[in-house]
């Protein structure tokens, strides 16, 4: 079954299931893709809480739920900081949520009063306070996310949709889960360059990294953005670019302001970006490598459920799971045949593990780690197909499920949909 070129460019080279997909489209409305974050203590960030919670606890951090719609996580945090008139460093998140979606997640703000939450409300986001805590939000506090999805514009009879969904689900159950690829959002669906920027940084090619981020155009983005990037690519005139780069390209403009004054200080330009965004460049390249490792494992017919000798493993719920490396300066390759696969791919990439220590920007260095090859799809519920009210000649379904932190709903959905064009399909 042919995998779209866009997915191959981010390292996803295979499908795990052989059954036909249903097609369809995600995110016709942002509200068609709902995400609610779950903490390890069981707290769920509700998009629409039944009752406003009574503030409890004590400590220097006030934990909130941030509800946002159709806005990037980093931009949402910056909006909150601006509304409160505080430095963005006082706000911490556990994880990054989809931009084109309706999401709810926990955030912590240091030295804030509950009544200040009323200041934070726009058309795209709002917050409500939960409790005081001595701990700020951190990824270690996350369990996972609940997803409630609408897949629209399905062009098959209801009986065919149901049969295809059942076949894919049966395949995934037999496999023991879904391949734990890093999803499209990790790299940028419209402009999949995040991992390319990361690779340039690791190789110390800061100018190339900056130009890739700022000026590498994509035929899939808005014409005004594409034209602005192309013009900068041709001229490399950063001062002039400030006049024509669209205001919504917030991060690009932050870098351009620096380069307009200091034309060759590309490292300094990256320091103008949120540190978490800079870390994401490196993490995206790790993710690309992981995706390729996992794709090749599947293509070589190696098991995903049971670890072989000399392979990495993670214990979850008292069971050992196959794990693959997230390459870093302390994280080497697997043993056995899987290790040979990884060694070959790393030689192709010409990026040895020690490059993940970045002296020019130590905070974005990565020691690496491991990640499970499979992710469990928890409490999967597949609704019966119904008429799509946005196109009465087509059908829609509303799957819901839970994934552990770090796993991507779009990776599960691609197995059921098998889109020919992930961008048009809303990935």
Q: What is the pLDDT of residues 185-215, one digit of tens each?
A: 999 888 999 999 999 999 999 999 999 999 9
pLDDT band at 237 (very low <50, low <70, confident <90, very high): very high
Which whole number is the average pLDDT over 94-120? 94
Tell me the CB-side half-sphere exposure of residue 386, using CA atoms within 13 A: 9
Given the residues 72, 98, 200, 388, the one annotated as active site: 98
Contact at 8 Å (CB) between 155 and 407?
no
Judge whether 378 and 229 are in contact, CB under 8 Å: no
- What pLDDT is recorded for position 53? 83
278, 266 contact by CB (below 8 A): no
- Say if residue 52's pLDDT is above 90: no
- Name the burial class of residue 56, with classes exposed (0-12), middle (13-18) and buried (19+) by CB atoms within 10 angstroms of its CB: exposed
How far out from the chain centre does Cα 142 lie?
15
The separation between the first and the last C-alpha atoms of the chain, rounded to the nearest angstrom, is 19
The answer to whether the beta carbons of residues 99 and 73 sit under 8 Å apart is: yes
What is the rounded CA–CA span in Å between residue 205 and residue 192?
A: 19
Q: How many residues does the chain have?
A: 427
167-183 confidence digits (pLDDT tens): 999 999 999 999 999 99
pLDDT, tens digit (0-9, with 9 covering 90-100), for 385-399: 999 999 999 999 999
pLDDT tens, residue by residue, 123-136: 999 999 999 999 99
Mean pLDDT for the stretch of residues 309-327: 95
- Catalytic site includes residue 388: no
Q: What is the pLDDT of residues 110-166, one digit of tens each?
A: 999 999 988 899 999 999 999 999 999 999 999 999 999 999 999 999 999 999 999
pLDDT of res. 51 = 86
Average pLDDT over residues 218-224: 93
The pLDDT assigned to 206 comes to 98
As a whole number, mean pLDDT of residues 65-73 equals: 96
Work out the average pLDDT over 285-313: 96
Strand partners, 37: 145
Quote the tokens at residue 183.
């999803």
Q: Measuring CA to CA, which residue among 255, 247, 183 is closest to residue 215? A: 255
345 confidence band (pLDDT: 50, 70, 90): very high
Contact 66, 104 (CB under 8 A): yes
Helices (H), 15-137: 73-84
pLDDT band at 76 (very low <50, low <70, confident <90, very high): very high
CB 22 within 8 A of CB 384: no
Asked if residues 183 and 411 have their Cβ atoms less than 8 Å apart, the reply is yes
Residue range 242-260: average pLDDT?
96
- Residue (of 277, 292, 297, 282) closest to 337 by Cα position: 297
Average pLDDT in the chain = 96
Rounded Cα distance between 168 and 367, Å, is: 36
Q: What is the pLDDT of residue 1?
A: 81
- What per-residue confidence (pLDDT) applies to 202? 98
Residue ranges and CATH numbers for the domains of the chain are 5-28+150-180+376-417 (no CATH), 31-144 (3.30.70.3160), 194-273 (1.10.1510.30), 276-372 (3.30.2350.20)
């Amino acid at each position: 079954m042919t995998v779209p070129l866009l997915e191959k460019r981010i390292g996803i080279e295979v499908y795990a299931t052989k059954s036909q997909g249903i097609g369809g489209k995600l995110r016709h409305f942002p509200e068609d893709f709902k995400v609610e974050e779950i903490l390890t203590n069981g707290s769920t960030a509700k998009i629409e809480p039944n009752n406003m919670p009574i503030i409890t606890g004590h400590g220097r951090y006030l934990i909130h739920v941030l509800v946002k719609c159709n806005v990037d996580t980093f931009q949402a945090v910056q909006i909150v900081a601006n509304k409160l008139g505080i430095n963005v460093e006082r706000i911490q998140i556990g994880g990054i949520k989809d931009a084109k979606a309706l999401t709810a997640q926990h955030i912590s703000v240091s030295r804030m009063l509950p009544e200040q939450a009323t200041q934070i409300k726009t058309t795209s986001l709002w917050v409500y306070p939960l409790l005081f805590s001595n701990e700020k939000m951190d990824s270690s506090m996350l369990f996972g996310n609940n997803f409630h999805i609408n897949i629209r514009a399905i062009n098959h009879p209801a009986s065919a949709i149901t049969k295809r969904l059942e076949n894919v689900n049966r395949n995934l159950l037999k496999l023991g889960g879904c391949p734990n690829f890093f999803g499209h959002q990790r790299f940028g669906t419209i402009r999949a360059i995040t991992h390319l920027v990361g690779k340039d940084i690791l190789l110390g090619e800061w100018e190339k990294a900056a130009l890739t981020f700022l000026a590498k155009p994509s035929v899939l983005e808005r014409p005004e953005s594409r034209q602005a990037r192309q013009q900068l690519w041709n001229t490399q005139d950063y001062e002039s670019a400030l006049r024509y780069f669209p205001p919504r390209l917030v991060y690009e403009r932050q870098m351009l302001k620096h380069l307009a004054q200091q034309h060759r200080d590309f490292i300094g330009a990256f320091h103008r970006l949120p540190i978490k965004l800079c870390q994401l460049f490196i993490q995206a390249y790790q993710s690309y490598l992981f995706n390729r490792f996992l794709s090749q494992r599947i293509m070589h017919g190696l098991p995903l459920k049971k670890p072989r000798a000399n392979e990495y493993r993670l214990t979850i719920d008292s069971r050992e799971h196959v794990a693959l490396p997230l390459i870093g300066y302390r994280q080497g390759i697997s043993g056995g045949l899987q290790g040979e696969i990884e060694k070959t791919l790393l030689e192709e990439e010409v990026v040895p593990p020690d490059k993940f220590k970045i002296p020019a920007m130590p905070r974005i260095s990565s020691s690496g780690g491991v990640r499970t090859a499979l992710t469990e799809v928890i409490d999967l519920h597949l609704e019966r197909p119904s008429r799509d009210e946005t196109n009465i000649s087509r059908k829609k379904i509303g799957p819901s499920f839970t994934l552990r932190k770090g796993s991507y709903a779009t990776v599960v959905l691609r197995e059921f949909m098998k889109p020919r064009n992930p961008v048009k399909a809303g990935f």
